[in-house]
Amino acid sequence: MQSPAKILVIDDDSEIRYSLERVLSARQYAVSAASSGEEGIEQAEQESFEAIFLDNRMQGMSGMEALQHLRSVAPNAMIILMTAFGTTQTAIEAMKFGAFDYIIKPFDIKKVLSLVERAVQAHRDLVDSATEHYSPLLNSEDYKEGIVGDSDPMQEVFKMIGQVATSDVTVMVTGESGTGKELIARCIWQHSLRAKKAFIAVNCAAIPDNLIESELFGHEKGAFTGATNQRTGKFELCDGGTLFLDEIGDMALPTQTKILRALQEGEIQRVGGEKVIKVDVRLIAATNKNLERMVEEKTFREDLYYRLNVMRIRMPSLRDRLSDVPALVDFMLQRLRKDRKTRVRRVSAEGLEWLTSYPWPGNVRELENTVQRCAVVAQGDTILTKDLPKEIIDFVAARRPESDLVEGPSENKKLSSSSPVEPLADDVSPALEPAVSEPDAFVGGLDSELDCEGLLDRLYSKLRENVDSNLLEELEREMIRRVIAETEGNQVKASQLLGITRATLRKRLSQYEIRY
Ligand SMILES: Nc1ncnc2c1ncn2[C@@H]1O[C@H](COP(=O)(O)OP(=O)(O)OP(=O)(O)O)[C@@H](O)[C@H]1O
Ligand SMILES: [Mg+2]
């Protein structure tokens, strides 16, 4: 038998707490109560609740404030805001901050019960779908390295790392911006015999030419105007360790000469100094420039090029390994969650399909920024297509067939099989799918308008809440109104579509005062 659903009531009014406790306990719910937002949040942190009744107006923390906290400490709890005044403003705010629903005081017991029933069911659906479908692509152990990539090109990169890590050879990492060159450099260092010694990264492009030598080799006091003290350079500081020279293609020729000497002879001189200092540094260099061309154009020293290019790791562009996108997204979301920067757990299946079809000119860095931005705008715990940046929406829209574009790209308007948007790349194993194949409907308990089952559930409970409100009539009126609009007042077509005779249609049109 299922254990009783746990409900938390947060209200500073003891009468409300008492009456809700009484009503709900009588229906076998396990009810807890808190008399302030702060207390409620504390309880929700310690225990998980299926549903939380939250008063909007309380002494101290307001309901709306508490709602936002609760959404992050108890993302799966269905929160029902209780308000004395049913203003549109409150309703919009409550829903915007992820409330399941709101109820106006004083309340009708029947309404409360039906709302709780619905909330508990929505919670179960959410949790079930999460446990059924949400299995992280990899567990956190697999992400320990902080580098994600199952695709063939990334597997090649990992193999190379394994080959070069424990030798002391100089490694050159090339690839477009944002492909993970620095990440790979750090990974090589972590797996090297020098792992316990320093890793220092210097971005050559960020330091002006006249300062780079001092930065790398240090200077003696008085070496140049402004050199008021002796300074130790990165080569010296990094003795025994690994120096990562990023954007090495941006380095001036004289500095290149000195680097070559440091590599070949293992010695440096501080700027303005006579003394030769022995250094033992392993160098890893990176660039997104075409060094071969630079050598041809004589802007990069050929001898340094060969000295650096002992081992070369070419980072694949993300568009050449789009099958890694789902795992990267999952990894990024896990990391954001760990840092408590988001409550988002996943991307909808369609959203992920879109992300996996985009060519990512800024590579993994761009994907990372996108995921961060989407995690901020997503309302529930799932990123939907509407949360994606405009450039992705436009990209997908441009590749859709005309007929799909009538109302622009929308969630649940699944890409047809003839859609030119590429499906997930073949090498994503089906085992990866469940993490993203969850319907988009359960977002913080809010039903997507287009989710039929959710819609029917809502309608049904509305019907039960308002038995005498002629819901069927309301439905019929709305349906006829829409069909008449769609058929532009053509009664023959409309009656066909509705499945009623023309006479009945006419009767209804006058009964509901629908005109076209
Ligand atoms: N395979 C990967 N797995 C996880 N995160 C990655 C991966 N590749 C890159 N990243 C992340 O993407 C961002 C960019 O990576 P990184 O700085 O290493 O790129 P880069 O090639 O050095 O870029 P640039 O040329 O612009 O300096 C970083 O935040 C990094 O953690
Ligand atoms: Mg970099």
How would you classify the pairing of strands 267-268 and 277-278?
A: antiparallel
Which pLDDT tens digit goes with each residue over 224-268?
888 889 999 999 999 999 999 999 999 999 999 999 999 999 999
Using pLDDT thresholds of 50, 70 and 90, give the confidence band for residue 402. low
Which of ligand 1's atoms lies nearest the C-alpha of 324? 1
Is the pLDDT at 211 greater than 50, yes or no?
yes
Of 99-108, 132-141, 457-466, give the lowest mean pLDDT range.
Answer: 132-141
Does residue 182 line the site of ligand 1, with CB under 6 A?
A: yes
Does residue 178 line the site of ligand 1, with CB under 6 A?
A: yes
Does residue 177 line the site of ligand 1, with CB under 6 A?
A: yes
Residue 399 has a pLDDT of: 86
Mean pLDDT within 105-128: 84
Is the pLDDT at 1 greater than 80, yes or no?
no
Does residue 179 line the site of ligand 1, with CB under 6 A?
A: yes
Q: Is the pTM of this model over 0.75?
A: no
How would you classify the pairing of strands 242-246 and 199-203?
A: parallel
- Write out the two tokens for 469: 């409100």
Q: How far apart are CA 42 and CA 173, in angstroms?
A: 49
List Cβ neighbours of 4 (8 Å cut-off, separation of 6 or more): 28, 29, 30
Does residue 93 line the site of ligand 1, with CB under 6 A?
A: no
Does residue 445 line the site of ligand 1, with CB under 6 A?
A: no
Tell me which range, 150-154, 367-371, 488-492, is most confidently predicted by mean pLDDT. 367-371
Does residue 288 line the site of ligand 1, with CB under 6 A?
A: yes
Average pLDDT, the chain: 81
Q: How far apart are CA 236 and CA 238, in angstroms?
A: 5
Give the residue whose CA is nearest to atom 16 of ligand 1.
180
Does residue 201 line the site of ligand 1, with CB under 6 A?
A: no
Higher pLDDT, 17 or 416: 17
Is the pLDDT at 11 greater than 90, yes or no?
yes
Is the pLDDT at 166 greater than 80, yes or no?
yes
Give the gyration radius of the chain's Cα atoms.
Answer: 31
Higher pLDDT, 440 or 5: 5
Which of ligand 1's atoms lies nearest the C-alpha of 146? 4
CA of 180 to the centre of ligand 2 (A): 7
Which of ligand 1's atoms lies nearest the C-alpha of 286? 22
Q: How far apart are CA 54 and CA 68, in angstroms?
A: 11
Does residue 149 line the site of ligand 1, with CB under 6 A?
A: yes
Of 124-128, 224-228, 271-275, give the lowest mean pLDDT range.
Answer: 124-128
Mean pLDDT within 39-44: 96
Which of ligand 1's atoms lies nearest the C-alpha of 184? 18
Residue 266 has a pLDDT of: 93
Choose the residue to mutate in 145, 151, 176, 179 for probing ligand 1, maximizing ligand atoms within 8 Å of C-beta: 179
- Beta-ladder partners of 52: 8, 79
Using pLDDT thresholds of 50, 70 and 90, give the confidence band for residue 454. low
Mean pLDDT within 108-119: 90
Which of ligand 1's atoms lies nearest the C-alpha of 182? 18
Q: Nearest to residue 112, comparing CAs of 51, 62, 56?
A: 51
Does residue 191 line the site of ligand 1, with CB under 6 A?
A: no
Which pLDDT tens digit goes with each residue over 415-450?
333 332 323 222 222 222 222 333 332 222 233 334
**Interior/surface letters 187-198, b for 16+ CB within 10 angstroms, e for the rest:** bbbeebebeebe
Is the pLDDT at 129 greater than 60, yes or no?
no
Would you give the DSSP letter of residue 316?
A: P
Nearest ligand atom owner, CA of 246:
2
Which of ligand 1's atoms lies nearest the C-alpha of 315? 21
Which pLDDT tens digit goes with each residue over 169-208?
999 999 999 999 999 999 999 888 998 899 999 999 888 8
Residue 370 has a pLDDT of: 97
The helix or strand, by DSSP H or E, that contains position 69, with its residue range, turns out to be helix 63-73
Using pLDDT thresholds of 50, 70 and 90, give the confidence band for residue 451. low
Give the residue whose CA is nearest to atom 13 of ligand 1.
365
Mean pLDDT within 76-81: 89
